[in-house]
Chains A and B, each alone.
Chain A
Amino acid sequence: MNTPASQFNADARRVSADLRHRGIIRTAMNNYEVVRDRRKAGFQDWQGARDLAARTKCETISHLDTHLEQFARLLEARGTVVHWAANAQHARDIILGIVRGKNARVIVKSKTMTSEEIHLNEALENAGCEVVESDLGEFIVQLREEPPYHLVFPAMHLTRAEIQQTFQRKSHDAPSDNPEDLTMVARRVLREKYLQADVGITGANFAIAETGMISITENEGNARLTAALPQTMITLIGIEKVLPRLEDLALFLPMLAVMGTGQPLACYNTLYGGPRQPGEADGPEEFHVVMLDNRRTTLLADAEQRDALGCIRCGACLNVCPIFCNVGGHTYGTVYGGPIGSVITPHLRGLHEWKHLGYASSLCGACSETCPVRIDLHHHLLQNRRNASYAKPIRWQKLAFQLFALVANRPRLWSLTTRLARLGQKFHGLIKGRALDPAQAWTRTREIQPIARQSFHEWWKERGK
């Protein structure tokens, strides 16, 4: 049967042996680390900045109801329609309702992972709309009918030659594989779409309670155009994205850019507080904000892992994760990959089916070390393992530990077992990693340390003679 766990294992085995893939990712990540570290060094106190960011998110999440209430009230006061969606189906229905009400044919979207989470594109296409992703990376993976590979770099697994082929296959004129020429192809194609589009859909990086505004961070200008040209604008946003005050952005915008892409600040950081206001030259006549729960409140109820809601989706934990870099973004089979995805997916989509993600970690802690809002990621992975085994213990595992306890609690039995194991290990080499090996899953790719020729107990006894 094809479960998320078996799919993960099969894909991980295949991708981690793919040297070409590893080469592409390694080159991209090396470059990222160099620029990121240079930017971090520009801060007077980077660790202090992480403390402040964690403090801010902790306060916000602990008073989420108050901040959300203020955010929605101020947005509504200036003519924005705020919708509340309990789950993915509900959010899709709300957005489809708006789109149908406008008789929209062409919809242009700027990058939003939340829309991936609710499978929005598929729903809109089934309703007869043409949906165009405008972020270059998203545009490329949309043409390839693939999900985004990475939270921040959706097409980082592709070479320029593959992108050129993709463009040509979709009958976009792409005479060379030069990244600049390829970017200009997308620019030309999308310009037309912006002018045709009836509805623009965006995500948001932050929701500012103090002023009732959403904040979008981007580099390409595609979100700016998505929010400027179509007559109707829809923003889909998770309820956890709220920040209390305008000035909190003075900290979060640079930190997001440094960790996301190694820039001091992304090219466009834009606040939107409503539809076109009297006296303004342009902008949508209607602005809808859809607030999505989709089991975020389940994660909120877990006091131990609540801090994971503070995630700003910078992707830094993916970039430093040895598992992500080897198994790749698509292997996770989730919208949110890497360590943060492994932490939150079991909460958002069910612990039992996604518990294997808790093991997609070497527990090296590089993710927790890098997280700009200090989410305790690798401990949360351990907690997910623990919670899964409490919720539904695996019989053979339980039996194995009972057996271990039985042996370990009896010194004579223990000493007999180690002596037998020493003997057994001599012959283990013959079957190590093969189908006959009972420990095959472990020994296929790992060495078992040889058992010491003499135990401490034996040495102590001998010494006394």
Chain B
Amino acid sequence: MNEREHLFTRIREALTVKTPAHHGDSLPTSAEHRCVLPTVGTTMDEQLALFAQNAADLKATFILVNHEDDLARALQVLADKEQWQRVATHQGGLANKLAGLLGLPLLMVDGGYDKSALALCDAGISECDALVAQTGSVVVTSMTAGGRALSCLPPHHVVITRRSQLVPDLTSAFSLIREKHAAHYPSMISFITGPSRTGDIERILVLGAHGPKQLTIFCIQD
């Protein structure tokens, strides 16, 4: 027998003695989860307002724009204000198009890139799979948001998203992930909830521990 078999034998032997299930032992349904978790409102507008409120609490910047052109202008304003020298992005359709309009040196991460070059970029511009109203999270994956490091290594993470990508809660976010990717899951799925932070020194909040110091979410109202 190899170690794996030994281990499973130990587990099965241990489990021959049953234990009383004081709180039940059936898996709860998503409906049961929704009855206990924080409320999210019923209409799309309420959920959008909740997302905006959560983003503000998390010290992320959430900017609603009416159209792609408005987004391009807002992105240009941000780039000028922060004096970006170079930015990184991925072939998502929208992200690379908008980043390209900035007229700055552009690092495309698709198909591999130089890590040190990415570390030198002022911003990583990515798309996302969903926004979660309940928690103010942005869901990114290694397939749809330019790999693992684009949303984490540069000091400013800019997310380009559409209003239709807003989902009410974590439960719906997980079903969305399952519907979209079950045939072949990305190797990484991350729920990003605000800019990187730490409280490890005297429990005082500091933003930008290792990941981005800033998180800006642009949302097109389509």
Interface residues of A (CB under 8 A from B): 28, 31-32, 42-46, 48-49, 51-52, 54-56, 58-59, 62, 64-65, 68-69, 72, 78, 84-86, 90, 134-137, 140, 153-156, 158-160, 163, 179-180, 182-184, 186-187, 190-191, 195, 211, 213, 219-222, 224-225, 227-229, 239, 244-251, 253-254, 261, 264-277, 279-283, 287, 291, 293, 297-298, 300-301, 303-304, 306-307, 374
Contacts and interface: CB of A to CB of B under 8 A. Distances in A.
Interface string B99-133: 00000000001111101100100000000000000
Given A58-B23, A182-B201, A213-B185, A250 B153 contact: no
B24 interface: yes
A187 B201 CA distance: 14
Contact of A307 (B19, B109, B199): B19
Nearest to A54: B23
Contacts of A72: 4
B208 A64 contact: no
Nearest to B215: A267
A228 B196 contact: no
B12 interface: yes
A346 B202 CA distance: 32
B44 interface: no
A52 B28 contact: yes
B3 A58 contact: no
A281 B171 contact: no
Interface string B4-35: 10111011111101110111111110101101
Contacts of A224: 148-149, 152, 190, 210-211
Contact of A59 (B3, B25, B147): B25
B137 interface: yes
Nearest to A134: B210
Given A251-B37, A271-B188, 16 more contacts: A46-B36, A48-B36, A62-B19, A137-B198, A159-B202, A183-B198, A184-B208, A220-B197, A225-B149, A229-B149, A239-B11, A261-B199, A267-B197, A269-B193, A270-B191, A374-B22
A280 B90 CA distance: 11
Contacts of A225: 149, 152-153, 210-211
Contacts of A32: 203
Interface of B: 2-4, 6-8, 10-15, 17-19, 21-28, 30, 32-33, 35-39, 54, 90, 109-113, 115-116, 119, 135-137, 142-143, 146-150, 152-153, 169-171, 173-175, 177-178, 184-204, 206, 208-212
A264 B209 contact: no
Contacts of B188: 227-228, 270-273, 283
Contact of A68 (B11, B17, B146, B193): B11
A253 B39 contact: no
Contacts of A68: 8, 11
Contact of A246 (B21, B113, B178): B178
Given A187-B208, A225-B153, A301-B14, A253 B170 contact: yes
Given A65-B12, A264-B54, A374 B19 contact: no
Given A136-B198, A250-B174, A267-B192, A55 B24 contact: yes
A84 to B, nearest CB: 4
B36 A277 contact: no
Contacts of B137: 265, 269
A362 B75 CA distance: 58
Contacts of B175: 247
B11 A191 contact: no
30 contacts: A45-B35, A52-B32, A56-B27, A58-B22, A58-B23, A62-B15, A62-B25, A65-B11, A84-B7, A156-B200, A183-B201, A184-B208, A220-B209, A222-B211, A224-B210, A225-B210, A250-B30, A250-B33, A250-B171, A264-B135, A267-B195, A269-B193, A271-B188, A275-B187, A277-B184, A280-B142, A283-B142, A283-B188, A297-B10, A303-B17
Contacts of B21: 55, 58, 62
B23 A51 contact: yes
Given A271-B190, A280-B187, A84 B27 contact: no
Contact of A136 (B22, B109, B115, B200): B200
Contact of A297 (B11, B119, B153, B190): B11
A172 to B, nearest CB: 14
Q: Which 4 A-B pairs have the closest CB atoms?
A: A221-B211, A281-B147, A228-B148, A220-B209
User: SS class of chain A's interface: helix, strand, loop or mixed?
Assistant: helix
Contacts of A163: 201
Given A69-B8, A183-B206, A264-B135, A43 B187 contact: no
Contacts of A267: 192-197, 211
A228 B15 contact: no
Given A54-B22, A136-B201, A270-B190, A64 B184 contact: no
